[in-house]
Amino acid sequence: MTIRLPTLEQLERAADVVYRAMTPTAQHSWPLINAELGAQVWLKHENQTPLGAFKIRGGLTYFQQLVASEIKPAGVISATRGNHGQSVAYAAKRHDIPATIVVPHGNSREKNAAMRALGAELVEHGEDFQEAREHAAVLAERLGLHMVPSFHPFLVQGVASWALELMHSVHDLEVLYVPIGLGSGICGAVAVREALGLPIEIVGVVSTGAPAYARSFEYRESVERPARTELADGLACRKPEPMALEIILAHVARIVEVTDEDIADAMRLVFSSTHTVVEGAGAAGVAAMLREKNQLAGRKVATVLCGANVDRHVFAKVLSA
């Protein structure tokens, strides 16, 4: 299936749906981070949405389209490492639809608790996201549930609203770093850039422990790789999403790989400079900026802090190092 990038009108309609449930998030240029990088750095604070992650935007638009286009399903199911699952649970609850979420064993305890608090039934299965995803598809067929994918054009349209806010607010932006989990965040950024006709260089960021998208970008075809990052569970993709990879190959300048140590450094920098919390995946863009610091001197650059949902004991360990 080939995905067409949404038009500006579609992006604006999706943003209107998002704003029925939340207000736009802030983007700030923090002096201490600017000083550290020697650049004008803008951070998009998706770590401050009602669910602490950008994924809420996609869930809202997906469910709006779902209930408008067909008979409301008796229940939905999806797979996640946490933030997408919270988005599904939140949006399903708004439409009074039961939600089941499949997570891999060893998933974030606090993300699991958040999904349960939103009314979702949790099922633990598999050793990574891909195994959880495949099991969710089996359960959807067996139980007659609507399978909410982790990547879909409606999800991209909603998620893109963070980039629409950023690009409308920060003019003459030169480079935008976007972490890649399964790909909705970076595809949303691409969609907005193309719709607005801006010359922004978009750079993907992945973990060295989950390099599937980086290798796929290098070889120009889908390549599966193990996902073994311990700190950035939101980047733990083993198998690229075909539609997302197509967009990335066509529109992304390059992909930067960062280690868990790089991410921990970035989490500490964000906390000490902004006094806000970011999870591992949420700090990956800052980690990539630090890695490419010499290339960014004097430029206007940005990244998205795509999530804040790190377990307390993990964050305490990062800060104490």
Q: pLDDT-derived band of residue 1, with 50, 70 and 90 as boundaries?
A: low
Contacts of 261 (CB under 8 A, 6+ apart): none
Residue-wise pLDDT for 21-75, tens only, equals 999 999 999 999 999 999 999 999 999 999 999 999 999 999 999 999 877 899 9
- Asked if 144 and 163 sit in the same domain, the reply is no
For residues 252 and 217, give the distance between their C-alpha atoms in angstroms, rounded to a whole number.
9
From 128, 150, 172, the end of a domain falls on: 150
- Asked if 74 and 214 sit in the same domain, the reply is no
Whether residue 65 is contained in a domain is answered as yes
- Asked if 75 and 117 sit in the same domain, the reply is yes
- Cβ(30)–Cβ(273) under 8 Å? yes
Q: What secondary structure letter does DSSP report for 284?
A: H
- Asked if 133 and 218 sit in the same domain, the reply is no
Whether residue 2 is contained in a domain is answered as no
From 150, 165, 197, the end of a domain falls on: 150
DSSP 3-state assignment of 56?
helix
Q: What secondary structure letter does DSSP report for 120?
A: P
Whether residue 3 is contained in a domain is answered as no
- Asked if 312 and 193 sit in the same domain, the reply is yes
- Asked if 159 and 293 sit in the same domain, the reply is yes
Q: pLDDT-derived band of residue 96, with 50, 70 and 90 as boundaries?
A: very high
- Asked if 128 and 175 sit in the same domain, the reply is no
Q: pLDDT-derived band of residue 3, with 50, 70 and 90 as boundaries?
A: low
Whether residue 1 is contained in a domain is answered as no
For residues 156 and 175, give the distance between their C-alpha atoms in angstroms, rounded to a whole number.
20
What per-residue string of b and e applies to 59-92 under the rule 16 or more CB within 10 Å gives b?
bbbbbbbbbeeeeebeebbbbbbbbbbbbbbbbb
What per-residue string of b and e applies to 21-33 under the rule 16 or more CB within 10 Å gives b?
beebbebeebeeb
From 127, 150, 173, the end of a domain falls on: 150
**Residue 145 sits in a domain of what CATH number?**
3.40.50.1100
- Cβ(21)–Cβ(282) under 8 Å? no
For residues 225 and 106, give the distance between their C-alpha atoms in angstroms, rounded to a whole number.
20
Number of domains present in the structure of the chain: 2
Residue-wise pLDDT for 101-141, tens only, equals 999 999 999 999 999 999 999 999 999 989 999 999 999 99
Whether residue 136 is contained in a domain is answered as yes
Asked if residue 4 has pLDDT above 90, the reply is no
- Asked if 13 and 138 sit in the same domain, the reply is no
Contacts of 71 (CB under 8 A, 6+ apart): none
- Asked if 195 and 238 sit in the same domain, the reply is yes
For residues 144 and 45, give the distance between their C-alpha atoms in angstroms, rounded to a whole number.
37
Tell me which residue range forms the domain holding 45: 8-54+154-320
- Asked if 226 and 284 sit in the same domain, the reply is yes
- Asked if 39 and 159 sit in the same domain, the reply is yes
- Asked if 60 and 106 sit in the same domain, the reply is yes
